[in-house]
Amino acid sequence: MGDRPTVCSPLPKAASGGCTVQSALRHQKKSRRKKAWHLTLVSLLSLVLIGAGAGGVGAYKLSRSFDDQVATIDQVFPPASLRPAPSTGVAAEARNILVLGSDSRGVHNASISDLTGQRSDVIMVVHIPADHEGVWVMSIMRDSWVEIPGRGQSKINAALSWGGVPLAVQTVESLIKTRIDHVAVIDFEGFQAITDALGGVEIDNPVEFESSKIKGHTFAVGKQVVTGTEALAYSRERYAFADGDFTRVRNQQRFFKAMLSTVMSSRTVTNPATVVDLITAVTPWIAVDDGLDFALLAGLELQLRDLQGSDLTFFTLPTSGTGISDDGQSFVHVDRGALAPLQQAFQTDTLADYRP
């Protein structure tokens, strides 16, 4: 057998076989940056930041911190008879994670795993394809007018209130005609906590508006660093815009991407103290199904470690304007004519070829 190529240790404890301390440091920095993109799902799931810090802080410590502190949702999925058939072939290896965001915990002073009577203000489906060549994140407008199984036509965010997580899952599955594999519920306060733990996040705001959440505060046009309170107000604002939730969803996506850039920066991923602060900030504000544990996240991190931030794609469930229901509710029409290609893309794990 020929000589094996020299591999530098990621920790510069020694230099041998032609490896220098400097090259080992470069290897460590590159490795951390490559897997740091995975923290995008921190912005969306608020929990995958565990994976990127494991090398610097200690996987065992992070595993205990996550599995011991994150709330588990007791009932997540509807009966199998009410769900789409499982995917087959290569598509069976893809993963769909439903992310539900709510700011009701503080109002109800309840555990985040107790969602009775709460509406979901953020609804996203994170799709991880079988080939791990990218990640697709589909936002669903909370006022989308859909068929909620057993309840009739209503805004999609009512599903969580009426039937908890199982009905929310069933409603989303009926839209994409594909099974959801995991669920994460995030309290909006979690985004505020992450932003503060990062020391602020820089956003590039395209349209000036006065916040209805922070009295007297205006978000100017252009780049600006927002604190946790400002980030929460920016992501929740809809009253300042003529198109309401449409701009709100775009701003949420803009903020998530900005948070990604901050998390990916070297000052974050190479600082174990910051990683620990992020984990501490996140865990009180999330709840997951019992299968979405540290071991699963660590496996995902390994599979996705070579991706870059540019491999993340945001899009929105197709819509076709707004309307008023018979009982006076303002809602968003789902573009039914555009659903078939989207459903096909989810079913066959071909979102890479889908054009919103």
How far apart are the C-alpha atoms of 44 and 96, rounded to whole Å? 13
What does the pLDDT read at residue 229?
Answer: 93
Instruction: Provide the CA 140 distance to its chain's centre, in angstroms.
Output: 13
What does the pLDDT read at residue 167?
Answer: 95
Question: Contact at 8 Å (CB) between 171 and 211?
Answer: no
Question: Contact at 8 Å (CB) between 123 and 172?
Answer: yes
Per-residue pLDDT of the chain in tens (356 residues, 90 and over written 9): 443 333 333 333 333 344 444 444 444 444 443 333 333 344 444 334 333 333 444 556 666 666 777 888 888 999 999 999 999 999 999 999 998 886 554 443 445 555 656 777 789 899 999 998 888 989 999 999 999 999 999 999 999 989 989 999 999 999 999 999 999 888 777 778 888 888 899 999 999 999 999 999 999 999 999 999 999 899 889 899 998 888 988 998 888 878 866 765 656 655 667 766 777 777 777 888 988 877 777 677 667 766 666 677 889 999 999 999 999 999 999 999 999 999 999 999 999 999 87
Q: If you count them, how many residues does the chain have? A: 356
Nearest-5° Cα angle at 171, 129 to 298: 35
What does the pLDDT read at residue 190?
Answer: 73
Question: Contact at 8 Å (CB) between 296 and 303?
Answer: no
**Which H, E and C letters describe 171-226, residue by residue?**
HHHHHHCCCCCEEEEEEHHHHHHHHHHCCCEEEEECCCEECCCCCCCEECCEEEEE
Instruction: Provide the CA 153 distance to its chain's centre, in angstroms.
Output: 27
What does the pLDDT read at residue 333?
Answer: 96
Domains of the chain by start residue, with CATH: 41-189+282-353 (3.30.420.590)
How far apart are the C-alpha atoms of 322 and 80, rounded to whole Å? 33
Instruction: Provide the CA 27 distance to its chain's centre, in angstroms.
Output: 28
What are φ and ψ of residue 97, in 5° steps?
Answer: -115, 120
Question: Contact at 8 Å (CB) between 31 and 37?
Answer: no
Secondary structure of residue 9 in the 3-state scheme: coil
Instruction: Provide the CA 313 distance to its chain's centre, in angstroms.
Output: 12
Question: Contact at 8 Å (CB) between 33 and 269?
Answer: yes
**Which H, E and C letters describe 102-159, residue by residue?**
ECCHHHHCCCCCCCCCCCCCEEEEEEECCCCCCEEEEECCCCEEEEECCCEEEECCHH
How far apart are the C-alpha atoms of 3 and 188, rounded to whole Å? 54
Question: Contact at 8 Å (CB) between 157 and 197?
Answer: no
What does the pLDDT read at residue 265?
Answer: 60
What does the pLDDT read at residue 307?
Answer: 66
Q: How close are the terminal C-alpha atoms of the chain, in Å? A: 51
How far apart are the C-alpha atoms of 185 and 201, rounded to whole Å? 22
Burial of residue 303 (CB within 10 Å: 0-12, 13-18, 19+) is middle
How far apart are the C-alpha atoms of 138 and 144, rounded to whole Å? 13
What does the pLDDT read at residue 292?
Answer: 83
